[in-house]
Structure 1
Amino acid sequence: MYKLNKINQSILLVIWGIGYATLSSAQETVTEQTNPVQQPIAISPSAESNEAETVPLLSSVIVTGSRTRENRTVASSPTPIDVISNDNIKQANQRNLLEALNNTLPSFNVPTLPGYGINSTVKAGQLRGLNSSHTLVLVNGKRRHSTARLGAGGFTASAPVDLGLIPTGSIERIEVLRDGAAAIYGSDAIAGVINIITKKDDHGGEVSAKYGGYTEGDGTLQQYIAGAGFKLGDEGHVYISAQYDKQGAAFRDSPVPGHIQYYFPIDANGNEVAPGGSPSFGPTLPPGATPNPKEAGVDRNNTVFGASGGVPESELASLTVDLSYPLSDKTELYAFASYADRETRSPQHFRFPSRDIVVRALWPDGFTPYTGVDEEDYSLQLGVKGTDLAGWDWDFSTVYGADNIDAYQYSSNSPSFGLDSKKDFYTGSYKYNSWVNNFDLKRSFEQGLLGWLTDVSLGAEYRREGYKRTAGELQSWAYGPDVDPEKFANGEYGYVLDGPNKGTLISISDAGSQADTGIRPEDTADDSRNSYALYAGLSVYPTEKLIIDTGLRFEDYSDFGDIVTGRVSSRYDFTPKIALRGTVSTGFQAPALAAQGYKATGVTVSETNRTLAVNSAAAQALGAESLKPEESKNYSLGFVFRPLRNLNIALDAYQIDVKDRISALSTIRASNLETDAQKAAFSSFVQSVDPSFGPNDGIDYFINAGKTKTKGLDLTIEYLLSTDRYGSFLFTAAGNWNKTELVSRAATPAALTAFGFSSDLTYNASSIANLEYLSPRFKGIVGLNWHLEKWSAGLTATRFGEIRRSTSVNVDGVSTPKVFNAGNLWLVDAQVGYKFTDQLSLTLNGNNIFDQKPRKLPANTVSGPGLLWPFQSYSYLNNSPINAAGSFYSAALNYKW
């Protein structure tokens, strides 16, 4: 897709170097690598083997969910935790970690958005049906920085961690805590915590190469991974991992109907005339005209609109280093560094050559504009930890992370600049950084509270965040006549240069690059904030059967003030086979720093829309108030049952109440008011607030909009069957039932109702639908993995239950709401593997082997999710749980030593 830059070349060089060193010294370095975490796909039982007393994943030691004891397992945890091994990630056969989690966890959902714009690159998922930013992401137990893109993945006002940038080759395992944990880890841990544990081997390594594609011949994926561990001194280690992914595009747009005209029709006198219908969305043949002869050369099966979703093309190169080194017999230095460079291109809607926003001298056949992203993401963890500091274990760490996004618009034009228009534009940048410092203490007392075994933890945290948004280049946002009035007077700028409408003034609404305009200078931002935290944890063990965990945390933010959260979690084992567990906690999510100062100007064909910074004077005059944190109350109750030695069942019910959820106020404008007097009064007031505002500009801002209640049920079942003759069989089944409802809405600010605006503008129908119906009501995953000597195989089936989507259909010229079920889908994945030697293996994977596609939108759809434009024969739903690309197959060759 792109010429590799120097960074990508360096990554490939590291991969090549590790691979070469591997092959050249294989006979000397082959050892049996020992992994402390048992992984189900790696099970290789024989007649002589001693099987574990528990299912492998449930016997995994975990470090997430407590700052005290570190010898808990999945099976003995007082909170529900999933462990996903590196082999599980490989079996998912997805192009990045985000998609792998979606393929592995029933409680995790990644909505499929339109395959265009920045949000097709910076995607996000939701745990237990909540916002993407309600899940905290840790790397080796340390907070990961978030994306610089506000609204990533379509979640308004959210800035989650971009899991798509974390290389899968560096991961040993992932621990997913499905419970509120803000009292332990701080902001964002409302729905749960994802803790990524990186590889820490001091010897051995692996190299792998994967190639795959969709059955229609597009969307090819190349992935190369190399990693190796080395000793650092006698007891230290350094593990280096490099990865390079190249993803081709795959889109499933429908053919353009034959009645749609690309070029200007011809009238009876042989002159070009304007098309009928909508020149933007459905140009047709007007009465008395004939098609332009150029129509004969149009390929109606190859016009990209991007509306049906799909997979954008991208390149990702990444490098990670994990190390530790003992400074003494009681002190250890540790570090983890990651770097990722990503470039993407995604198509926007095709611009017909008959549209006057096309500079036809530059694009005689129209054009498909592409949104481009050039992103750099890096993080550095550095820490020292030790034991016996007056009897306490201690850990001091500092983590700096940053995400920098440069945005571009390619293969486009800025129509008001005429022949001087560029084709490629820099549209601005988004930059976020975070610096987190922690000091932790912990200690166990054999005769602690009330004489019970007691674990105590204490800690402090300082965090500083920074956010910047910079302007795009001039032509990406400006209006030509304003830039050069002389060229406007000469007819060079601001006018249609040719065609039936030659000499017509180009609307100021068409200023800037098509389709994404640049960030305007007045919409830039440079914000920062500090926060401080003190926290403590207390775990007691009154008996061998009872565990009680408690946590308390105080945080103070420079932009909104302080907050206290708490947590009590407990587990009681009635017998070795039956246990009850539960948690009650409070939590919070600080408003994203980008949301605090976010402002934007959007210009459409007929109107200008402005998002005002919530703390600006203009927004405050229109009723805005400083954003408060979203606060939660979490309740969960679980039942753990082990009826057989290798059968484990866990059932967890939960309720999550979140108040002060942040959303955008429904757009207000003078024309929405009922009477002329109201319209005139509001227009006058708006222009008095800011003279640059138009009298009918649309205005919105972020607001603490309402309260939601989420109820759900998680079920996990794991069963291991081992035989001498037929190998081992690991059966897993997991399901999530989840329902979110809007309990109450905040009132429209009094400053707006005074002008006559409705009292319920805090949530509109679209935002309510996103809250309540974006995730499936039910998602279940059933898997069977088999292993016998050199052979292995896996089969996974995923069920998506009811998914409600709303749209509108045209009935006799009237737009009528319609709700339909986009769910009830099955996806089946399969895998077959063969080990040629103990080191060399081949794996064949198939995803969505029955070629399932999203639901098509109902006929006569005129608006709503997955908008069906008149120039399409049909349209797949945009925000389905699956994309429209269909079946994907790949082969991976892996060498370990």
Structure 2
Amino acid sequence: MSKRTATGRVGRYGVSLISLGAALLAAGAASAQQATTEAATLGEVVVTGARASGRTVENAVAPIDVINGQAVELANKANVLEQLQANLPSFFVPNVATPNIGSMVRSGQLRGQNSGHTLVLVNGKRRHSTAFLGAGGESATAPVDLSTISSASIRRVEVLRDGASAIYGSDAIAGVINIITDDSPEGGRASYRYGEFADGGGETSVFQFSQGFRIGEAGHLRLSGQYDDQKIVIRNSPVNPALLYYFPINPVTGQEILPAGNLESNPSLPVGAIPNPKEATRDNNAWINSGKAPFTLSSYSIDFGLPLNDKVETYAFLTYAERESSAPQNFRTPNRNANVRAIYPNGYTPVEAIDETDYSGLFGIRGNDLFGWNWDLSSVYGENSIDVNVHNSINVTYGAASPTSFYIGNHNYSAWTSNFDLRRSFLIASIPTDVSFGIEHRREHYQLGAGDAAGYTHGGAKVLDGPNAGQTLSNSFAVSQALPAYRPDEEQDVKRDSTSIYVGVSVTPVEAWSVDLAVRGEDFSDFGSKATWRVSSRYDFSPRLGVRGTVNTGFHAPALAALSYRSVGNANTSTNYTLAVSSPEAIALGAKPLQPETSTNYSFGVVAKPFWGINLAVDAFQIEVENRITALGQVNAAGARWLDNPANGTPAPGQSVSQRLTNGRINPGDGISYLLNSSDIRTRGVEITADKTFLLEQDNFLNLPAGSRLNLSYAGNFLKRELTKIYDAPPVLTAYNPNITLLSAGDAVNLTNTLPRERHILSGSVNVGRFQAFVRQSYWGELPRSGVVPAGSPNAGTEIFYDIGKIWTTDLSLSYDIRDNATVTVAGNNIFGTRPEKTPAPLQAFTQLWSYGNNGAIGAEGAFWSIKLDVRW
């Protein structure tokens, strides 16, 4: 029996136990019913999703999840991003094991949409995004990096699962995440958590603190901070024994000779040759790039508020974060031309690294009586800067004089957003009405700075030794290995301004019926104007049953970095070029200016308390996105010849893509791509939430002490994505290759299956005196993937489909209050060590014996355990 099968059964037993517990509770509900209490968050006023006053989770016109600080901490995860995934079935964070910057700067997807389609607010104000385009492995996406926000500063997180561009502007296609910070004027806490993976690696230390100070009678100052240190997790297979590290030996002459196969990717032993004696002492675990990237993160925040009088108060919220992280790349065997054996006689592993700084300052003043209107004037500036380096690398065209560390360049993004909002409640013809309107201005600025010249120039050296000694090295080798430095002609400095005007009206025609209307116009300096609208309504037939629904339009402005982004990536055997959309080369290949992604959303839901005080909500939705931005599938620079006259098919006289576009700078075998609006996509789904809290009396059926609290909850998400249209390729591309498509079959499969088809979270907690226990059972459904059998293998070119989903995981937390103000918690995530399916053998790289699928729900790390001490005062 495989480990996957065994752990799957354990997971099913866990679900069965929870289901049995739920049945027992139902049986005993009659005696406990009078003592039940509502979940604390249901009656809490929320500020996300409408500008009307007095809305709660219980009476909201759209689905809103409220995750309090305790739930965030119980997740036992490294950051807010992963904490949200643990609590919300509609929020998915792909496990990016591929070793690049996208695995260090991660992102999450709400309701199956691109991570850039979720707007992030902090205390109701727009948060700036990351400077790195491609966060979380998603091309053309620069979302907000939630991991830079300290968990210690959070009071709760409100998640609106519905489109809200008409309320908040660009990016709110899937919904809104609003982080509400802790503004308590007194008291404090500190905690320390240590954990590691059961199979080794990932040693993690997390220190948090928060302290409040009262200013005057009603003002406050809250200081919070967090420090995270996580070591690397390595889950690579041993190296394939058939892969040669060193040059084989001719048994007759005793000289080193070239191996069989491709020297840069699959060198193997030629017929009649013998292995180099050095093979006997080689490191068979040289690949260390599958697992989790190590990082350290320091994040701090200041929350401030001070009333100026009984009608006006000023407020501020400031954050600062620093992160260092690294990601090992593919091992370069010592026999490759991509090595200088005088520097690395036994090969080397390049390591990409980032040094990131992120900060934000929000300042505002608001009041409650400006000619009868509530008003709010605020301005927030945020900036994210990422220095990229590669260490333990080389530019072989510099020979023995090559540096081994390179500065690759800098990504920098800033946003300055200012708002003025007005809101007032009226009685119009005896109908309660809330009216709101406002204006917003945002200035964005993106810069890409060049790196070390030695990271992108040819040093003139040839192969120094070995069978290829004296061989000229092509331009493909004239870069820092793993990640070429950004060239001066790739530098960017672009700005964009946008101005919005928005109006909202909320009415309650009768006590049981509420209607929200919103419209917004937004003008961008680069691509023009967009208007969006939203209509939401709810009707309660009784205190136990209500229905709600929304129709809205939305849009996502292309990330500023995407409009002019270009990059060069160094693979094992070639270099891949992403051309700037506005560059002459991309335009010659049919590129056009990127247009905003637009959406139309429909949702309908039922909220009910069917029996015993259970809170139940079922919401169905459909999101149609047009002009989806993706990357063009790579065009090979040495492919079919251009046609002089596409109409009659006359071939050009011997010109390749490289010669025609770049005067030969892009070499045969290199890849060319650019960003474009490629397709339309539709997402349909159903979300279910249910919870019940019991306050147990004496002689209860569980034999727990009177006053014990028991909570059971379920949340589920069913999802289906499908491409409704793939746009035609530009004529210039079809002239180059009549069979070219903007999305290959594999790209289409991966685009429509970026997250599981279904997700279920069953959780239960019990509080007995000083003791608390919590268990969460999670299921990730079908997650199809595909791959093409590489050249040189049997059945090369065949596309293979497989599944890395259908996974159960179990999380457990046990806490004990050793004093009234001190708690010790032992927690485990994925305690049975479930792993995804391994990649099918025909798709394995020649270097591997096996590997686990990337970009799934979980990685190959296995079980994680931690212990935490939390002290409050």
TM-score under structure 2 normalisation?
Answer: 0.91
CA-to-partner distance for each residue in 1:545-582, whole Å, 9 max, x for gaps? 00101100000000000011000101000000000000
Query: Given residue 624 of structure 1, which amino acid in structure 2 is its aligned partner?
Result: A
Pair 1:606–1:223, CA change in 2 (3 A): closer
Is residue 867 of structure 2 the alignment partner of residue 888 of structure 1? no
2:755 maps to 1:779: no
Supply the distance in 2 between the matched residues of 1:840 and 1:227 (Cα, whole angstroms).
15
Secondary structure of 1:324's counterpart equals strand
Sequence identity (%): 43
- The one-character-per-residue Cα deviations of 1:828-873 (angstroms, maximum 9, x if unpaired) are 0101000011100000000111101121011222xxxxxx211211
Q: Which residue of 1 aligns with 2:26?
A: none
Q: Which residue of 2 aligns with 1:546?
A: 513
Report the counterpart of residue 321 of structure 1 in structure 2: 302
Q: 1:759 to 1:51 in 2, by over 3 A?
A: farther
Cross-structure match for 1:768: 748
Structure 1 residue 289: Cα displacement:
2.6
SS in 1 for 2:763: strand
Does the residue aligned with 2:819 lie in a helix, a strand or coil? coil
Contact residue 433 and residue 465 of structure 1 kept, 8 A: yes
* Pairwise CA distance, 1:621: 4.1
Query: Who is 1:65 aligned against?
Result: 49
CA deviation after TM superposition for structure 1 residue 501, in Å:
1.7
1:616 partner amino acid? S
| Map of 1:155 onto structure 2 | 138
Distance 1:814 1:767, change over 3 A: closer
Q: What is the alpha-carbon distance in structure 2 between the residues aligned to residue 412 and residue 699 of structure 1?
A: 24
1:418 aligns with 2:399: yes
Any idea what the Cα deviations from partners look like across 1:372-394, whole Å, max 9, x if unmatched?
A: 00000000000000011000000
Report the counterpart of residue 849 of structure 1 in structure 2: 831
Is residue 621 of structure 2 the alignment partner of residue 654 of structure 1? yes
Determine if contact 2:781/2:807 at 8 Å carries over to the other structure: yes
Q: How does 1:773-812 map to 2 (within 5 A)?
A: 773-809=753-789, 812=794
CA deviations 1:771-813 (Å, max 9, x no partner) are: 2011100011110011111000011011011111112347744
Q: Is the contact between residue 745 and residue 760 of structure 1 (CA under 8 Å) also seen in structure 2?
A: no
Task: Check if 1:128 corresponds to 2:108.
Answer: no
Tell me: CA distance 1:299–1:536, structure 2 relative to 1, closer, same or farther (3 Å). same
Residue in 2 that maps onto 1:343:
324
Call closer, same or farther: CA 1:52–1:455 in 2, change over 3 Å: farther
Whole-Å separation in 1 of the counterparts to 2:246 and 2:662: 42
Distance 2:144 2:375 in 1: 28
Q: For residue 312 of structure 1, what is the aligned residue in structure 2? A: 293
What is the CA-CA distance between 1:685 and the residue it aligns to? 8.7
Equivalent residue letter for 1:161: V
Q: Distance in 1 between matches of 2:464 and 2:494?
A: 43
Q: Which residue of 1 aligns with 2:647?
A: none
2:547 corresponds to 1:564: no
Does the Cα contact within 8 Å between 2:416 and 2:443 map onto a contact in 1? yes
**1:593 offset after TM fit, Å?**
0.5
Secondary structure of 2:797's counterpart equals: strand
Contact kept? 2:33, 2:612, Cα under 8 Å: no
Unmatched tracts of structure 2, length 5 or more: 1-30, 645-649, 699-703
| Aligned mates of 2:188, 2:468 — CA distance in 1 | 66
**Match in the other structure for 1:828:** 810
Distance 1:681 1:400 in 2: 55
CA contact (8 A) 1:209 1:222 kept: yes
CA distance in 2, matches of 1:732, 1:394: 39
The answer on 1:454 being equivalent to 2:439 is no
State the SS of the aligned residue for 1:277.
coil
Matched, 1:507 2:487: no
Alignment of 1:691-770 (within 5 A): 691=663, 694=666, 698-725=671-698, 726=704, 727-753=708-734, 755-758=735-738, 761-770=741-750
Q: Per the alignment, in what secondary structure is the counterpart of residue 489 of structure 2?
A: helix
Aligned counterparts of 2:160 and 2:639: Cα–Cα separation in 1: 46
1:853·1:882 contact (CA, 8 Å) conserved in 2? yes
> Cα offset for 1:679?
5.6
Residue 248 of structure 2 is aligned to residue 281 of structure 1? no
- Cα deviation per residue 1:102-143 (whole Å; 9 max; x = unaligned)? 111111111112241111101111111110000000011100
**Structure 1 match to 2:701:** none
Q: What CA deviation, in whole Å up to 9, does each residue of 1:438-466 have, x standing for no partner?
A: 00000001x22x43100000100000000
* Cα distance in structure 1, aligned partners of 2:778 and 2:572: 43
Query: In the alignment, which residue of structure 1 is the partner of 2:22?
Result: none
CA, structure 1 residues 270+616, in 2 after alignment: closer, same or farther (shift >3 Å)?
A: closer
Per-residue CA deviation, residues 705-757 of structure 1 (Å, 9 max, x unaligned), is: 1111110000001011221352211111011111111101222223434x253
Q: Is the 8 A contact 2:239 2:287 kept in 1?
A: no
Structure 1: gaps spanning 5 or more residues: 1-46, 482-492, 862-867
Q: Which residue of 2 aligns with 1:6?
A: none
Determine helix, strand or coil for the equivalent of 1:761. Answer: coil
Please say which of residues 278-287 and 495-504 is displaced more in the overlay: 278-287
The structure-2 alpha-carbon separation of the partners of 1:690 and 1:425, relative to structure 1 and needing over 3 Å to count, comes to closer
CA distance in 2, matches of 1:736, 1:584: 20
Amino acid at match of 2:440: E
In structure 2, what is the Cα distance between the partners aligned to 1:373 and 1:295? 34
Supply the AA of the counterpart residue of 1:598: Y
CA contact (8 A) 1:714 1:735 kept: yes
Counterpart secondary structure, 1:364: coil
Deviation at 1:665, TM superposition (A): 2.5
**8 Å CA contact 1:748, 1:758 repeated in 2:** no
Tell me, in whole angstroms, the C-alpha distance in 1 between the residues paired with 2:129 and 2:335: 42
Aligned counterpart, 2:150: 167
Kept in 1: contact 2:482–2:570 (CA 8 A): no
- 806-815 vs 708-717, which moves further: 806-815
Partner SS for 1:58: coil
Aligned to 1:8: none
Q: What is the Cα deviation at residue 155 of structure 1?
A: 1.2
Q: Secondary structure of 1:98's match?
A: helix
Residue type at the aligned position of 1:775: L
1:272-311 CA-partner distances (Å, limit 9, x unpaired): 22233333333322223322222222232x32241xx311
**Amino acid aligned to 2:165:** A
Contact 1:202 1:237 in 2 (8 A): yes
Letter in structure 2 aligned against 1:172: R
Q: Report what 2:21 is aligned to.
A: none
Q: What amino acid is the match of 2:268? A: T
Correspondence list, 1:29-48, <5 A: none
Question: Which digits, 9 at most, give the CA deviation of each residue in 1:619-661, with x for residues without a partner?
Answer: 3344322221111000000000102353101000000011111
- The root-mean-square deviation of aligned C-alpha atoms, in Å, is 2.1
SS in 2 for 1:707: strand
Corresponding pairs, count? 826
What CA distance in whole angstroms lies between the structure 2 residues aligned with 1:278 and 1:380? 53
Q: How does 1:513-552 map to 2 (within 5 A)?
A: 513-552=480-519
Q: Give yes or no for contact 2:264–2:573 (8 Å, CA) kept in 1.
A: no
CA contact (8 A) 2:589 2:732 kept: yes
Which of 174, 177, 181 is equivalent to 2:164? Answer: 181
Equivalent position of 2:92 in the other structure: 109
Moved more, 800-809 or 116-125: 800-809
Q: Say which is worse superposed, 452-461 or 499-508, in terms of deviation.
A: 499-508
Verify the 8 A CA contact 2:95 2:857 in the aligned structure 1: yes
Cα offsets for 1:331-376 (capped at 9, x unmatched):
1010000000000111101111111211111111111111100000
The answer to whether the 8 Å contact 1:115/1:347 transfers is no
CA distance in 2, matches of 1:702, 1:378: 29
Moved more, 655-664 or 399-408: 655-664
- The 5 Å alignment of 1:667-678 reads 667-668=634-635, 671-673=638-640
Counterparts of residues 189-200 of structure 1 (less than 5 Å): 189-200=172-183
1:227 match: secondary structure: strand
Distance 1:857 1:193, change over 3 A: same
The Cα of 1:878 is off from its aligned counterpart by 1.2
Give the superposition deviation at 1:693.
5.4
Contact 1:509–1:604, Cα closer than 8 Å, also in 2: no
Cα distance in 2 for residues equivalent to 1:384 and 1:51: 44
